[in-house]
């Protein structure tokens, strides 16, 4: 079975399992979700694989043209060496890409991810199309695939997707770690190493002056360790009471297509970063 097929099946399986758990708990069909939210969630989830495959194809073509002699040049590396390089080339760069996306330069391409007033597997891939098309980690990963990372990359992405999906899911799997004092050392280790619902929910909070929300930090995707190292981490072991964006609550939600393909399509809303106005992020 080809590597890409295994990767796709694994991603769909993990996403499906968390979605099923949300459905069982009655959290998948969030009452806060508008018609525009539903359309955007479906469109992005279906089109993300297309965008990722396009980046992979384009990067591979560039490698064939610019560095054809480097195909499988690193295939002899040990798995742990490949893993370390992937963590730097993919996960660390994504941390900085995410952090940059909370500045005025990139916020319009990331705003869609925060416009949801709910947490769910539905919003895992909810971003502007150009946010992913330009993501350095995807391009660098494609180069490493060209150089022979193959099955190690597949295993890495399955673990990473599991963590990311789990951190966005309405299934608060980390709660049981905080309920038992005996598990406190394990809870500390987990939350300082990978993204969890508690730490990532804080990043999606509507406000950050309540001791829980922290949308100017907690940027980590797979490793939350990056936030710890670069001092953007916030721990509360609590979950925000509300999510989304204050400007949407004041002016109404943006059309789903505008959020997805801005700047090709701009908003007609008076107060928005997706039109001719300011590009300032929240906070």
pLDDT tens per residue across span 12-23: 899 999 999 999
Query: pLDDT (tens digit, 9 = 90+) per residue, 176-228?
Result: 999 988 999 999 999 999 999 999 999 999 999 899 999 999 999 999 999 99
Measured between alpha carbons, how far is residue 66 from residues 71, 90, 269 in Å?
11, 21, 44
Name the token pair of 71. Answer: 């195909």
CA atoms within 13 A on the CB side of 169: 26
Per residue in 50-60, pLDDT (tens digit) is 999 999 999 99
Q: Which residues of the chain have pLDDT under 70?
A: 1, 276-280, 282-283
Closest among 231, 220, 272, 266 to 250, alpha carbons compared: 272
- The pTM of the full predicted model, rounded to 2 decimals, is 0.94
Largest pairwise CA distance in the chain: 57
Question: CA angle, 47 as apex, 44 and 51 as ends, to 5°?
Answer: 115
- The backbone region for 12, taken as left when phi is positive above 0, alpha when psi lies in -120 to 50, beta otherwise, is alpha
Token reading at 186: 């394990």
Which of 225, 218, 224, 222 shows the shortest CA–CA distance to 204? 218
């Amino acid at each position: 079975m080809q590597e890409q097929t295994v990767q796709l099946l694994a991603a769909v399986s993990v996403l499906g399992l968390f979605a099923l758990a949300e459905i069982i708990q009655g959290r998948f069909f969030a009452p806060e979700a508008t018609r525009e939210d539903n359309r955007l969630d479906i469109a992005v989830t279906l089109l993300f694989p297309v965008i990722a495959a396009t980046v992979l194809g384009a990067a591979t073509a560039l490698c064939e043209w610019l560095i054809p002699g480097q195909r499988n040049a690193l295939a002899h590396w040990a798995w742990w060496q490949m893993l370390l390089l992937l963590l730097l080339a993919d996960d660390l760069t994504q941390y900085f890409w995410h952090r940059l996306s909370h500045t005025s330069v990139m916020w319009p391409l990331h705003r869609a991810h925060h416009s949801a007033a709910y947490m769910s597997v539905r919003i895992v891939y909810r971003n502007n199309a150009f946010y992913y098309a330009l993501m350095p980690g995807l391009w660098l990963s494609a180069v490493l695939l060209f150089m022979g990372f193959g099955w190690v990359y597949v295993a890495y992405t399955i673990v990473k997707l599991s963590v990311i999906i789990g951190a966005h899911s309405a299934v608060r799997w980390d709660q049981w770690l905080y309920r038992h004092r005996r598990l406190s050392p394990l809870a500390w280790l987990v939350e300082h190493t990978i993204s969890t619902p508690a730490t990532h929910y804080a990043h999606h909070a509507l406000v950050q002056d309540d001791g829980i929300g922290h949308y100017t930090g907690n940027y980590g995707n797979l490793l939350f360790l990056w936030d710890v190292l670069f001092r953007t981490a916030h721990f509360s072991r609590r979950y925000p009471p509300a999510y989304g964006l204050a400007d949407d609550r004041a002016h109404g939600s943006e059309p789903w297509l505008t959020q997805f393909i801005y700047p090709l399509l701009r908003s007609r809303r008076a107060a928005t970063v997706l039109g001719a106005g300011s590009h300032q992020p929240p906070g």
